């Protein structure tokens, strides 16, 4: 294990801690602005490494860098039949006992004079802002990091320009090798296409992107076609005879499909992007990440099989913090220019923040999204009461969802443990 590998892990963990701190600041700032009493601001879990009290809030760092929390008083309301500062001790069953205990913990820091500073008494829209502030900070940080990469460094853009004409046809399923005398010429070589030719039309349809070129050729299938090109500033048409060839799908690289084949590699260049391009990239990645979260149970089956059956880990599947740190180490020690390694590490942290922000918005406790959902439901009930001229309902009692919360927390612990084990025994590897 090289020192660069260790440095990459350390850089990722530092970036992770900063991301966690910013997430919690996203909760802390609006909570204080709306008058909620915050007793603790902690980055990490477990024993406290360092802490300092400022005013009524203790700020600190704990030894296990796998999360963080902001402790606000009165997260759960007392029962409507109880005094706001006191809780009835008699329980009617195991679940009720569990809920009552949670209420006691939520109100144990409420002192005389703090009655209007508890979280549950705030307006529903204030609670939405407080609880969505953490994920919002993750999204902002992800956008800033993606902007640094896309606008400052740039991205590889593939152009509809021929870089190299493939001399012979080699199936995608075959191992890379040199052409032999028995291999047929590619349609591009047979038609006389040259490096530097820019493809502008295909079968009379205007094309201005490499994706358009690739999809048009593939969709055409085998048979004659007319390719419009620009060569040395002159427009000309070239007759080609496409062949059917097995290639990897553009939408699913793990899938092979029989498509039209011409036979050339395009020109790629590093181009800096605009703010709009960053927003588009962020939106597309957000949609793909959301789909991955929806498929998380299915993906976890693959993680289980990889952990206990030795199957190869899915590089696009879920990984834990240990696995992400290991990827950071691989990136830092990769045999590529330093600039490329820095860009990859920044991109890794950006993607991690995006995933964390989205995951926290799942509308289930103990995630932030569970509190947001409760606050939105409260706002909807109050709006309905105003429209129907009924008495304003009380605060939504999210404590009633605690049995589901504990089940969710148990599943999250199981998933985290499985990911940790899989990341240790069968990690995702960028470089084989």
Q: Cα dist. 399→40, 108, 203, 387 in Å?
A: 21, 15, 64, 27
24 is catalytic: yes
DSSP letter for each residue of 120-143:
GGS-HHHHHHHHHHHHHHHHHHHH
SS3 63: strand
Q: What is the CA radius of gyration of the chain?
A: 28
Instruction: Give Cα 236 distance to the centre of its chain.
Output: 45
Q: Can you state the angle between helices 124-147 and 3-33, rounded to 10 degrees?
A: 150
Q: What is the DSSP letter of 75?
A: S
For residue 325, what are the contacts with CB-CB under 8 A and spacing of at least 6?
Answer: 9, 12, 13, 16
Contact 391, 348 (CB under 8 A): no
- Of residues 339, 340, 338, 289, the one with CA closest to residue 317: 289
- Count of C-beta atoms within a 10 Å radius of residue 219: 10
Q: What is the DSSP letter of 192?
A: T
Q: Hey, which residues does 58 pair with through a beta bridge? A: 40, 53
- Of residues 350, 312, 335, the one with CA closest to residue 429: 312
Q: What is the DSSP letter of 87?
A: -
Catalytic option among 24, 108, 203, 271: 24
SS3 185: strand
Q: Cα dist. 346→141, 145, 350 in Å?
A: 11, 6, 6
Evaluate the omega torsion of the peptide bond into residue 366 and state whether it is cis, within 30 degrees of 0: yes
**In degrees, to the nearest 5, what angle opens at C-alpha 319 toward C-alphas 326 and 422?**
80
DSSP letter for each residue of 138-176:
HHHHHHHHHHIIIIII-EEEEEEEEEEE--B---TTSPP
| Phi-psi label, residue 213: left if phi above 0, alpha if psi -120 to 50, beta otherwise | alpha
Catalytic residue IDs: 24
């Amino acid at each position: 294990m090289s020192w660069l590998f260790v440095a990459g892990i350390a850089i990722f963990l530092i970036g992770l801690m900063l991301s966690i701190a910013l997430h919690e600041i996203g909760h802390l700032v609006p909570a204080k602005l709306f008058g909620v009493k915050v007793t603790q601001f902690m980055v990490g879990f477990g024993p406290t490494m360092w802490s300092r009290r400022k005013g009524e809030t203790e700020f600190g760092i704990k030894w296990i860098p796998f999360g963080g929390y902001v402790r606000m008083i009165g997260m759960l309301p007392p029962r409507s039949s109880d005094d706001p500062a006191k809780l009835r001790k008699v329980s009617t069953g195991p679940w009720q006992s569990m809920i009552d205990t949670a209420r006691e913990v939520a109100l144990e820091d409420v002192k005389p004079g703090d009655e209007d500073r508890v979280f549950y008494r705030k307006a529903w829209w204030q609670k939405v802002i407080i609880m969505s502030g953490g994920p919002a900070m993750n999204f902002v940080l992800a956008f800033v990091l993606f902007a640094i990469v896309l606008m400052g460094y740039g991205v590889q853009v593939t152009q509809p320009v021929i870089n190299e004409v493939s001399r012979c046809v080699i199936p995608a399923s075959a191992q890379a090798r040199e052409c032999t005398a028995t291999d047929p010429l590619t349609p591009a070589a047979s038609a006389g296409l040259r490096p530097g030719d820019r493809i502008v039309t295909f079968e009379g349809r205007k094309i201005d992107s490499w994706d358009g070129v690739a999809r048009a050729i593939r969709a055409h299938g085998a048979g004659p076609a007319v390719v419009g090109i620009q060569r040395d500033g002159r427009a000309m048409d070239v007759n080609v005879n496409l062949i059917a060839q097995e290639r990897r799908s553009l939408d699913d690289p793990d899938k092979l499909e029989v498509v039209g084949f011409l036979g050339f590699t395009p020109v790629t260049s590093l181009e800096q992007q605009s703010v709009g391009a960053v927003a588009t990239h962020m939106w597309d990645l957000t949609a793909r990440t959301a789909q991955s979260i929806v498929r998380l149970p299915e993906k976890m089956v693959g993680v289980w099989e990889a952990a206990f059956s030795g199957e190869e880990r899915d590089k696009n599947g879920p990984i834990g913090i240990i696995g992400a740190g290991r990827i950071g180490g691989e990136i830092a020690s990769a045999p590529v220019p330093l600039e490329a390694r820095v860009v990859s590490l920044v991109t890794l942290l950006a993607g991690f923040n995006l995933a964390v922000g989205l995951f926290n918005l799942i509308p289930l406790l103990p995630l932030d999204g569970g509190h947001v959902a409760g606050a939105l439901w409260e706002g909807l009930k109050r709006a309905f009461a105003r429209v129907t001229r009924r008495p304003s309902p009380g605060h939504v009692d999210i404590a009633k969802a605690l049995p589901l919360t504990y089940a969710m927390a148990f599943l999250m612990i199981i998933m985290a443990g499985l990911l940790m084990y899989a990341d240790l025994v069968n990690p995702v590897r960028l470089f084989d």
